């Protein structure tokens, strides 16, 4: 069965997530660059940094990658996830309902 594949010519979408600067989602304090370790904490508020809420693949209801690390049996949500990337909240905050509907098309 022949399949037509087309790579590189598709238009790029403005997705509701993007890699961002390293900062604590709880207090907004800057965090060290790079992927935090599973037990790294914010120097300001002492909250864990390697959690789903700080990751660009988290949209509040679940993981966009359907990661099993979102609902761990022990520990924090996303604490041991290997796909962690710092989120850019400015991208997600700038979207409205029409933007999200367009992305679903």
Say whether pLDDT at 1 is over 50: no
State the pTM of this model. 0.67
- Asked whether 81 and 52 are in contact (CB, 8 A), the reply is yes
Could you tell me which of 13, 90, 17 has the C-alpha nearest to residue 60?
17
- Asked whether 11 and 60 are in contact (CB, 8 A), the reply is no
| Residue 96, pLDDT score | 59
φ and ψ at residue 54, rounded to 5 degrees = -90, -5
Say whether pLDDT at 64 is over 50: yes
Higher pLDDT, 33 or 11: 33
- Asked whether 23 and 49 are in contact (CB, 8 A), the reply is no
Residue spans of the domains in the chain: they are 18-105
């Amino acid at each position: 069965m022949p399949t037509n594949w087309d790579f590189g010519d598709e238009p790029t979408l403005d997705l509701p997530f993007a890699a961002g600067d390293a900062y604590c989602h709880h207090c907004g304090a800057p965090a060290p660059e790079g992927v935090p370790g599973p037990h790294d904490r914010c120097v300001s508020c002492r909250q864990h940094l390697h959690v789903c809420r700080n990751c660009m693949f988290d949209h509040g209801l679940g993981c966009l990658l359907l990661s099993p690390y979102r609902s761990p049996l022990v520990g924090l949500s996303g604490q041991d996830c290997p796909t962690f990337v710092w989120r850019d909240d400015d991208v997600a905050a700038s979207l409205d309902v029409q933007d999200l509907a367009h992305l679903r098309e």
